[in-house]
Amino acid sequence: MVVNKDNQLFGPTVIISQSLFNLGDLQTLNSLLKTLLLHLLCVYVCMYFLLVLYQLLRQRSHLHSQTNSDPNFSVRPDGSVYAEQEVANLSEPVQFMVTARGGHDPHIWETTVKLALAGHPPSVPVSQPQREVRLPIPVHCAHMVLRRQKRDWVIPPINVPENSRGPFPQMLVRIRSDQDLEKGIRYSITGAGADQPPIDVYNIDPVHGKMFVTRPLDREERASYHLRAHAVDMNGNKVESPIDLYIYVIDMNDNRPEFQNQVYNGSVAEGSKPGTLVMQVTANDSDDDTTANGMVRYRILSQTPHMPIPNMFTINSETGDIFTVAAGLDREKVSQYTIIVQATDMEGNLNFGLSNTATALISVTDINDNPPELTARTFSGEVPENRVNVVVANLTVIDRDQPHSPNWAAQYRIASGDPQGHFLIRTNPVNNDGMVTVVKPVDYEQNRAFMLTVIVSNKAPLASGIQSSLQSSAGVTISVQDVNEPPVFPSNPKSIRFEEGVPAGTTLTVFAAQDPDLFIHQTVRYSKLSDPANWLRINRTNGQITTMAVLDRESMYVRNNIYEATFLAADNGSPPASGTGTLQIHLIDVNDNAPVLLPKEAQVCERASPRSRVNITASDADADPHVGPFVFELPSYPPSVRRNWTASRISGDYAQLRLRIPYLDAGVYDVPIIVSDSGNPPLSNRSMIKVKVCPCDDNGDCTTTGAVAAAGLGTGAIIAILICVIVSMVLVFVMWMKRREKERQAKPLLIDPEDDVRDNILKYDEEGGGEEDQDYDLSQLQQPEALDHIICKPTGVRRVDERPVIAESQYPVRPSLPHPGDIGDFINDGLRAADNDPTAPPYDSLLVFDYEGSGSTAGSVSSLNSSSSGDQDYDYLNDWGPRFKKLADLYGGGDDD
C-alpha cells in the first residue's frame, strides 16, 4: 500500500469468498482455515496503513498561515488573502509578510505580498518573494520494508519585474532537497538563460541552492524562461529528479506607442455627411497588450485650418478611425486638413501613460458641385466660304471644380442654328475653351451668316441637389466671307460612247463648266491638261471637244475600253480660280484586227504517229464578237502543203496540224495556214508556222541526230562529218607516235628519255641577295629574250655573264643502241665538246654577283668533312678540262693559277 503526495491511500482490495464445504471432509476444512488466516493478515496490514495515513493528515492539519504586519488584511489557511476593510482610497501599494509552517515540521516559509488598486501599477517594482523549496524525508516503517511515495519536486512560477534596478545578483528562490541532512548536495540549472543563449542571465549557488538573476530583464526581448534545476551528490549521482523552473518577466510600462507612419494620407469627398469614415491611424506598443501598459488610446490634438469649425473630425479612441463630425466640407474653400493625432498607453491615462504623435493629412476630394459658366452671353466669328478644319470662334468658360478632372472638363453642344452640321465645337484640353470649327464647307451664295445656340456642360454629371447655371448657354454669330470660287464641271467625270475608228475632226461633246460666283460676272476659258494619245482638242471659249486623230480601242492608252482625258476651266477673278474635269470616252470595238496564228514554231516526228501532230490556235486584238471561233485552212498553193499536211478543227478556237503522208524527211518546213475570225465582215490572215521534222525514239522524243538533221543537215552530211572527225584523230595520233620515235633516236641513253635531264637549262626566278642584302637589281640576273641588243653593242667590254653571239657547237650523237662499254667514251666525248664550246655557260669568264652581306644566320659550313676516311687520289680531275680545274685544285693539291 502506497501513500502518494495527496495523502491518498492505495492498497489491495480484500475480497472474502464463501465456499461451500462438507463438514465431514477434513481436507476442505483445512483449506478454509488457511484462507481465513490469510484474510486476517491482510486486514491487519490495512489497519496499519490507515494509522500511518491518520498521522500524516494530523501533521497537515497543523499547517497554518498568519500575517505579521498589516491588520487590514487576513490570510486564511488555504492561502487566500482578504481585505478586512475598505481599500478603495489607497493611494500607495500595501506590502506585508506572510508566514507558513507545519505542525511538526521545524521549517518556516515566508513570502512578501504587495497589493495595489486595479489600474494603478505600483510605482516601485514588486520584489520577487524568496521561497524555500524542500522535499520531505521519506517515512520508514518498523519491522517492514515499506516506504511512502515521494512528492513531486514542483516550484510555482517565478515572476520577475523587468527593468529592475537591483542590486544584482538578486535572489529569486532557494532550492533544497530533504536529503541534504544526510549527504552533501550540489545544485545546478540548465536551459535558455543559464547555459544556453542568452547565457548567464541566471545562476545558482551550488551548495545552498539559491538561484539569482544577474542583470535587469527586458520583457520585450524575452517574456519567459524555462529552466531545469538538478540536484546531485558529491559523486555526481542524481539525488532528485530535475525540477522545472518557469520564470515570467512582469511587464513595466517602458515603451511608448509607435505609429506605423509619421504621416498618414487620407481623403474625404466634399459635402460628405457627418459620420463619414475618412481614414485610420494605427500605433503599436511593445508592452504587454493584455495589461494597461500596452493598451493604446487615440485622440486629436489639433486641426488646421479651423474652417468651417475647429472640430470637423473625431477619432475612435480604440481603433484609430477618423470620422467627420460636421457638414460643410468644401474643396473650393479648403482642399486639405492637417490633423495631429496622439496615441497614449495605460488606456489613455495622461498621468501614467506614455504618448506619441503623428500627422494625418486629409485631402478633400472634388465632386461636381460647380457647373461650368460661359464668360459671355454672345460670341462672334467669321469664316471664308469653302474652308474646312479652321477655328472661327473661341468660347471661354469658368469652372471652380478640380482642374483637368471630369468634374472640370467641359463639353459643348450646338443646340440650334446649324441644321446641316457645318460646325463642330471641340474642347481645348489645356484651358477648357470651346473651339468652334468648320467641318463642312459653307457657301456664301447660300448662307451669309449663322446664328448658333451653344450649351456647355461637364463630362461628369452634377452632384445630387446641384442645379445647372443659367450662364451655361450662349449665342454664337458666324459671318461667311465671299471668295472667288473655281468653275465647276456639272458632270465630273463625264462619260460618252463612240465607235473606234472615227475620223479626225469629229465633234464628240461639249464639256463646259459653271462659275459658282453668282454675284460676280466672270469669263471662263478652257484648256487641255492631260491627253495621253493626243487625240482630242477643246474649244477655248465654249468647251467643245473634237478629235485630232483616229480613236483606236486597241491602243496602249486605252484601259478597259475607256480612254480618259483631263481638261482645265479657269476664270478671270482676283485671284484667278480654276477647276478640272475628266472626260471618259468608252470606245466601241469594230473588227479592224486580223487574227494571228499561234504558235510560231513546232516539232513533229518524221513518221506519221500520234506524236506527229501540233495543236494550233489564234490571237485577235479585237473584242467579242469579233474574235473566235476561228477558221483554220491550208492554202492550195504550193501544192506540197496540202499533199504533206492536213489541218482539222478541234474546237472553236483550236485546230490540229498533222502529217498527211506516212513519212517525211527530217528538216525544217514552213507551213502556211490561213486563219479567219468571226467578225462582220470576217478578217483573214495568212500566217507561217515553222515545223521541225526529226527522227524520234520509241518514246516519241526527237533524238540528238534527228535534232541536228532537223536543223538542216541530211544523213549523208552527218556521216561525212563523223568520218572526218575520226580521220583527224587518227592522223594526230600517228604524228605523235613519229615524233616520239624521233626523240628516242636523237637521245640514245639507257635512261628513259622523259627522265633525261642532260644539257637542260632550267630558268628560275631571282633568288635575291643574302640575309643582309635584300636590295638588289634583278635586271642584272635576267636572261635576255633576244640577241638584238647584244649584236648592236659596240666592240669593247661586254658583260661576262652574257651568251656569246657565235655559232653553237655540235655535241656528239650517241648511237641508237649504246653498249654499256661505250658509256665512258660517250662521257669523255661530251666533256671535250663542252670544254671547247664557247657558248656554254659560264662562258669561261668571271661572273660578277651583287654583294650578299657579311654574314649568314646559317652559320659556317667549314665543319663539313668528307665521309671518306682514307686518302683518295683526285688527280684525274685535272684531265676533265678547265671546268673541273678549281675542283682539282681543292682536292688534288694543285696550285691555283
What's the gap between Cα 818 and its chain centre?
91
Question: pLDDT tens digits, residue range 389-425?
Answer: 999 999 999 999 889 989 899 999 999 999 999 999 9
With contact defined as beta carbons under 8 Å apart, do 803 and 841 qualify? yes
pLDDT of 886 higher than 90: no
User: Where is pLDDT greater, at 561 or 201?
Assistant: 201
Identify the helix (H) or strand (E) that includes residue 211: strand 210-213
pLDDT of 483 higher than 90: no
Taking residues 798-826, report their average pLDDT: 55
Instruction: Give me the pLDDT at residue 216, please.
Output: 94
Q: What angle do CA 693, 699, 702 make, to 5 degrees?
A: 30
Instruction: Give me the pLDDT at residue 21, please.
Output: 36
Instruction: Give me the pLDDT at residue 521, please.
Output: 79
Question: pLDDT tens digits, residue range 649-706?
Answer: 877 788 888 888 888 888 888 888 888 877 778 878 788 888 888 888 877 677 755 5
Tally of CA atoms within 13 A in the half-sphere of 127 that contains its CB:
19
What residues are paired with 163 via a beta bridge? none
Task: Name the DSSP class of 748.
Answer: -
pLDDT of 24 higher than 50: no
Nearest Cα residue to 534 out of 559, 509, 565, 506: 565
Q: Is the peptide bond before 129 cis (omega within 30 degrees of 0)?
A: no
With contact defined as beta carbons under 8 Å apart, do 52 and 7 qualify? no
pLDDT of 591 higher than 50: yes
Instruction: Give me the pLDDT at residue 897, please.
Output: 41
pLDDT of 184 higher than 60: yes
Question: pLDDT tens digits, residue range 602-628?
Answer: 888 888 777 678 888 887 777 778 777
Percent of the chain with pLDDT over 70: 70
pLDDT of 300 higher than 80: yes
Maximum average pLDDT range among 56-65, 150-159, 441-450, 742-751: 441-450
Q: In the predicted model, what is the mean pLDDT of the chain?
A: 76
pLDDT of 88 higher than 50: no
Maximum average pLDDT range among 51-65, 68-82, 268-282, 841-855: 268-282
Instruction: Give me the pLDDT at residue 29, please.
Output: 66
**Domains of the chain (ranges, CATH numbers):** 158-250 (2.60.40.60), 258-365 (2.60.40.60), 373-478 (2.60.40.60), 494-588 (2.60.40.60), 596-694 (2.60.40.60)
User: Where is pLDDT greater, at 638 or 336?
Assistant: 336
pLDDT of 284 higher than 80: yes
| Distance of alpha carbon 295 from alpha carbon 251, whole angstroms | 13
Question: pLDDT tens digits, residue range 544-556?
Answer: 999 988 888 888 8
Taking residues 842-865, report their average pLDDT: 51
| Distance of alpha carbon 283 from alpha carbon 862, whole angstroms | 106
Task: Name the DSSP class of 371.
Answer: -
pTM for the structure as a whole: 0.43
Question: pLDDT tens digits, residue range 336-385?
Answer: 999 999 999 999 999 999 999 999 999 999 998 889 999 999 999 999 88
Instruction: Give me the pLDDT at residue 12, please.
Output: 30
Instruction: Give me the pLDDT at residue 789, please.
Output: 47
What residues are paired with 413 via a beta bridge? 455
Maximum average pLDDT range among 155-164, 271-280, 443-452, 830-839: 271-280
Identify the helix (H) or strand (E) that includes residue 30: helix 26-61
Residue 606, classified by CB atoms within 10 Å of its CB into exposed (0-12), middle (13-18) or buried (19+), is: buried
Annotate 555-573 with DSSP letters as a single string.
Answer: STT-BTTEEEEEEEEE---
With contact defined as beta carbons under 8 Å apart, do 52 and 3 qualify? yes
Instruction: Give me the pLDDT at residue 650, please.
Output: 78
| Distance of alpha carbon 315 from alpha carbon 321, whole angstroms | 5
Identify the helix (H) or strand (E) that includes residue 730: helix 715-746
Annotate 627-696 with DSSP letters as a single string.
Answer: SPSPEEE--SSSHHHHHHEEEEE-SSS-EEEEESSSB--SEEEEEEEEEE---SS--EEEEEEEEEEE-B
Question: pLDDT tens digits, residue range 763-807?
Answer: 555 454 454 445 545 455 444 544 444 444 444 444 444 555 555
Nearest Cα residue to 242 out of 258, 254, 257, 228: 228
Instruction: Give me the pLDDT at residue 213, please.
Output: 94
Taking residues 496-522, report their average pLDDT: 83
pLDDT of 119 higher than 70: no
Range in 415-424, 449-458, 483-492 the model is least confident about: 483-492
Locate 443 and state its grid cell.
457657301
With contact defined as beta carbons under 8 Å apart, do 186 and 233 qualify? yes
Instruction: Give me the pLDDT at residue 550, please.
Output: 86
pLDDT of 23 higher than 70: no
What residues are paired with 495 via a beta bridge? 584
Maximum average pLDDT range among 41-45, 71-75, 501-505: 501-505
By three-state DSSP, how is residue 866 classified?
A: coil
pLDDT of 120 higher than 70: no
User: Where is pLDDT greater, at 536 or 79?
Assistant: 536
Instruction: Give me the pLDDT at residue 715, please.
Output: 56
Nearest Cα residue to 664 out of 646, 638, 689: 646
Question: pLDDT tens digits, residue range 528-548?
Answer: 888 998 999 999 888 899 998
Taking residues 586-612, report their average pLDDT: 80
